[in-house]
């Protein structure tokens, strides 16, 4: 029987959740337009909407808050954060931002011109928005297996080199500002990229002079998978693996709200001197000064400490294995999930779960809403609603993966909480034919999944 590591932390402070009745939850989700983003957090017993900014900080991070240097320029906390990023990730230059999408905005404005193409190993919502808003077309170059929830591969986030080469041949290298390499791949189920694949992508891009910029939001999780799944890395430290990973890139965007173990913060890192100079100018316009970028001094201190703590093997092993614990319980009960279980969450295969609904009846959105009614667990739709519409034709993007993401915050919940989540899902799966579809009653023109409203079909 597989065993799972105990929590590598002690709990000092607790939050008392508000537990609604089933009837109250049904009224709450109806009032929210069946959109889990519109629920009040106080109404959610176990909140798995996201792992972004929902982490529990350590005592050392809280202590770091007390030495915040809130100077408008030249904060010592910025010096600490900058030095830590360089030490642990290996980049030459760092520009602070308020979170990851701030870094995406600056990178896109500098690198992208209208009519260009950005290849990436599956899209992410805000990333693709910034790319398209600046005139680029996103092209998915992930391996085909990533779109099949049943395929079980150790590195399902890998780039398909043939797809990348085909795009280069089709449009020309001068039309590709950079390759966007996510580690891990969120929309594929938190799937990692192998070191060998990163190396191969780098070799191909060097041949054509194309830079590589990584979305390194969950890079520590990716490093853990490399350590445990890829030959030759079992004896490497997480930090050593990170440094090699980023040696195959030219820069990165980072949301510290995930593997940085903080509630806010991010950065744009680069080895390009010219891009760094331009980014330092734009950060003043969109984020703040180059020595804080929208973060307070205390945020930056906690961020620097969090980067170091995230590389502790005991921490990252428990983080990933706690996610696996939930996934393994669901698989054992026959619940359809994306395989293998990823690093930051379990993704329910909503198409298979609600096979009586068509994709136009929004099975993932409906499943997320009814999971809340059943158990008080808040999750997130990651399917056709999140994918949005084709900006040229107005037609819905119809991704092959129609999922509900159960995203586990870091150092917040116990295995007993995972048992509650599993029990609710398993019970819902036994009554799945009773779950109805949904339809839009309000659809925002951009990033509709945040604010859309629905009603039962």
Question: 413 — alpha (psi -120 to 50), left (phi > 0) or beta?
Answer: beta
Q: Using CA atoms, how far apart are residues 280 and 298, in angstroms rounded to an integer? A: 21
Q: Using CA atoms, how far apart are residues 219 and 225, in angstroms rounded to an integer? A: 10
Distances (CA, A) of 269 to 128, 172, 212, 318, 390: 19, 26, 12, 28, 31
Helices (H) then strands (E): counts for the chain: 16, 14
Tokens representing residue 213 in the block: 């910029």
User: What are the DSSP E strand ranges found in 301-433?
Assistant: 345-349, 377-378, 380-382, 403-407
Question: 388 — alpha (psi -120 to 50), left (phi > 0) or beta?
Answer: left
For the chain, the 3-state helix, strand and coil shares in percent, each to the nearest 5, are 45, 15, 40
Biggest CA pair distance of the chain: 61
Question: Among residues 123, 451, 452, 192, which one has the least CA distance to residue 343?
Answer: 192
Distances (CA, A) of 227 to 91, 145, 146, 199: 21, 22, 21, 16
Question: Among residues 44, 38, 56, 104, which one has the least CA distance to residue 287?
Answer: 104
DSSP code for 30: H
Distances (CA, A) of 90 to 107, 252, 375: 19, 11, 44
DSSP code for 318: H
Contact 152, 111 (CB under 8 A): no
Task: Tell me which residues are annotated as active site.
Answer: 72, 124-125, 215, 258, 382, 449
| Residue 230: how many other CB atoms lie within 10 Å | 18
Residue with tokens 């993966």: 401
Q: Using CA atoms, how far apart are residues 327 and 349, in angstroms rounded to an integer? A: 12
Tokens representing residue 206 in the block: 């060097």
């Amino acid at each position: 029987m597989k065993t799972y590591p105990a929590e590598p932390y002690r709990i000092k402070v607790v939050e008392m959740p508000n537990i609604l009745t089933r009837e109250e939850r049904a009224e709450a989700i109806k009032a929210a337009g069946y959109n889990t983003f519109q629920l009040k957090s106080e109404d959610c017993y176990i909140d798995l909407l996201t792992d972004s900014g929902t982490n529990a900080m350590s005592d050392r991070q809280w202590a770091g808050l007390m030495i915040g240097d809130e100077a408008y320029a030249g904060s010592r906390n910025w010096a600490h954060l900058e030095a830590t990023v360089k030490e642990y990730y290996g980049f030459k230059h760092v520009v602070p931002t308020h979170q990851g999408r701030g870094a995406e905005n600056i990178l896109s404005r500098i690198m992208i011109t209208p009519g260009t193409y950005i290849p990436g190993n599956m899209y992410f919502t805000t990333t693709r928005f910034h790319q398209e808003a600046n005139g680029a077309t996103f092209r998915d170059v992930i391996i085909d297996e990533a779109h099949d929830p049943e395929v079980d591969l150790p590195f399902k986030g890998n780039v398909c080199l043939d797809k990348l080469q085909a795009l280069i041949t089709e449009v020309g290298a001068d039309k590709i500002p950079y390759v966007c390499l996510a580690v891990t791949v969120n929309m594929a189920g938190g799937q990692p990229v192998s070191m060998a694949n990163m190396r191969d992508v780098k070799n191909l891009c060097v041949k054509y002079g194309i830079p590589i910029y990584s979305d390194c939001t969950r890079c520590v999780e990716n490093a853990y998978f490399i350590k445990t799944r890829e030959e030759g890395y079992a004896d490497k430290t997480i930090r050593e693996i990170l440094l090699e990973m980023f040696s195959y890139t030219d820069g990165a965007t980072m949301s510290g709200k995930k593997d940085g173990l903080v509630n806010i913060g991010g950065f744009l890192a680069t080895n390009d001197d010219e891009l760094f100079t331009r980014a330092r100018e734009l950060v003043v316009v969109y984020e703040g000064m180059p020595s804080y970028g929208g973060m307070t001094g205390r945020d930056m201190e906690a961020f620097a400490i969090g980067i170091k703590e995230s590389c502790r093997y005991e921490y990252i092993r428990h983080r990933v294995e706690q996610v696996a614990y939930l996934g393994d319980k669901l698989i054992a009960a026959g619940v359809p999930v994306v395989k293998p279980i990823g690093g930051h969450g379990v993704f329910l295969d909503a198409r298979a779960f609600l096979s009586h609904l068509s994709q136009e009846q929004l099975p993932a959105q409906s499943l997320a809403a009814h999971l809340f009614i059943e158990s008080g667990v808040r999750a997130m739709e990651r399917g056709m609603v999140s994918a949005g519409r084709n900006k040229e034709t107005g037609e819905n993007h119809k991704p092959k993966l129609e999922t509900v993401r159960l995203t586990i915050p870091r150092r917040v919940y116990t295995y007993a909480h995972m048992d509650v989540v599993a029990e609710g899902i398993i019970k819902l799966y036994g009554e799945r034919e009773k779950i109805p579809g949904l339809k839009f009653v309000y659809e925002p023109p951009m990033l509709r999944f945040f604010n859309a409203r629905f009603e039962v079909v």
